[in-house]
Amino acid sequence: MSTLSIVALVSGTLSIFVPMGGIFIAMFSSILAMLAFRSQPILAAITFGINIINASFLSSNLATRETVFGDAYLLLIAFHIVFLLVGIVWRLSKQGFQKNTQRIL
């Protein structure tokens, strides 16, 4: 799983420099980071931070086009935040499961 988190980090960083497809690469990297959050939370959190900053500041041209893409800007930021929260819940559910099994044994 550490390989998955490194791939997510590299693709998240790469999404900053790709002009048109960077949005989709960042979305894919958030999905990878959510899957890697359970075993490598620090690298996955860094990836989410890069993706949220990328969506907030570098994709601001979506926010300026209120007629067509105004809602897409907020949807893109919400996409990364929701996957971050899902990753955190998934990580916490793993820790809770391990504590319950240790009490039984």
**Rounded to 5 degrees, what are φ and ψ at 59?**
-105, 30
Q: What is the pLDDT averaged over residues 5-32?
A: 87
- What pLDDT, on the 0 to 100 scale, is given for residue 30? 92
pLDDT exceeds cutoff 60 at 103: no
Chain segment 26-61, per-residue pLDDT in tens: 889 999 999 998 888 899 999 999 988 888 877 656
What is the C-alpha R_g of the chain?
16
Say how far apart CA 39 and CA 98 lie, in whole Å: 13
pLDDT of residue 13 exceeding 60, the answer is yes
CB 32 within 8 A of CB 7: yes
Predicted pLDDT of residue 23: 82
On the question of pLDDT at 5 being above 80, the answer is: yes
pLDDT at 97 over 70: no
